[in-house]
Structure 1
């Protein structure tokens, strides 16, 4: 996400320096999107409290993506490159393995959520009619 806005040209504005605040803006946008997803998931659980209306095991994807969100954000770029002042627990290799596991959890929860979307909601109406 750090290079997301590298090739995008902002309109020239002398009052705001976007280059220094790019990572902060990207982090704020990611946090707002993450908060919105949890808000919608909790609201759906409140509106449909019975398991017949919505299976509450579907929240597992959100829990694993939250775990992966914190795992990925716990590792800095300097630790992955090996430029940090302290090596941490396992050094550069450990940081890369930790980041890889975090990305695997994130993509796994994304794939599982798509499977739930299509398996439980999209194709279900075709079989009922």
Structure 2
């Protein structure tokens, strides 16, 4: 299994358009995640069908999205600076906490989907699916915004 992606090559050279394309795609993913959960909240406004406490996963994923993208790659590597309140070690810890929140939100949304809707055999499952897709879209939007852009053009 090692090297199974070695033969895959992308000959697309986005050049100057890489940052705008990655930013727009990440924004569309983030927007789609929140749009899905707003749709579910409007369709199922009662507490019996859709607990309002389930919105916590999306809020935590949004906080994680901002935490991950608040530090630059240069700060994490240590090329930016080494003085001040956030050293490279502090930037790494900050980003680790952001990734932990992001993964935790995604896993919690899966738990809500399967534990709260599928296993309990409720009549409607869409709110659970919406919670999962909201967190998945925010998670992948955060990854795309962090690693899809290049900082050389700044």
Q: Which stretches in structure 2 are left out of the alignment for 5+ residues?
A: 1-7, 123-154
**RMSD, aligned CA:** 1.9
**Which TM-score applies when normalising by structure 1?**
0.80
1:124 counterpart SS class: coil
Q: Is the 8 A contact 2:75 2:91 kept in 1?
A: yes
| Offset of residue 19 of structure 1 | 2.8
| Offset of residue 119 of structure 1 | 0.7
Output the CA distance in 2 between the equivalents of 1:77 and 1:88: 17
**Which TM-score applies when normalising by structure 2?**
0.68
| Offset of residue 26 of structure 1 | 2.0
Q: Evaluate the alpha carbon distance shift between residue 79 and residue 101 of structure 1 in structure 2; reply closer, same or farther with a 3 A threshold.
A: same
Q: Evaluate the alpha carbon distance shift between residue 8 and residue 75 of structure 1 in structure 2; reply closer, same or farther with a 3 A threshold.
A: farther
Output the CA distance in 2 between the equivalents of 1:87 and 1:40: 42
Q: Which stretches in structure 1 are left out of the alignment for 5+ residues?
A: 1-6, 12-16
Count of aligned pairs between the two proteins: 115
**1:29 counterpart = 2:21:** no
Output the CA distance in 1 between the equivalents of 2:51 and 2:98: 26
1:23-45 Cα shifts (integer Å, max 9, x gaps): 33222212111111111111211
Greater C-alpha Rg: 1
Moved more, 22-31 or 114-123: 22-31
| Offset of residue 22 of structure 1 | 2.2
Q: Which residue of 1 aligns with 2:58?
A: 62
Output the CA distance in 1 between the equivalents of 2:20 and 2:72: 14
Q: Is the 8 A contact 1:79 1:87 kept in 2?
A: no
1:78-122 Cα shifts (integer Å, max 9, x gaps): 100111157452210100000000000000000000000111122
1:62-86 Cα shifts (integer Å, max 9, x gaps): 0000000000010100100111157
| Offset of residue 48 of structure 1 | 1.1
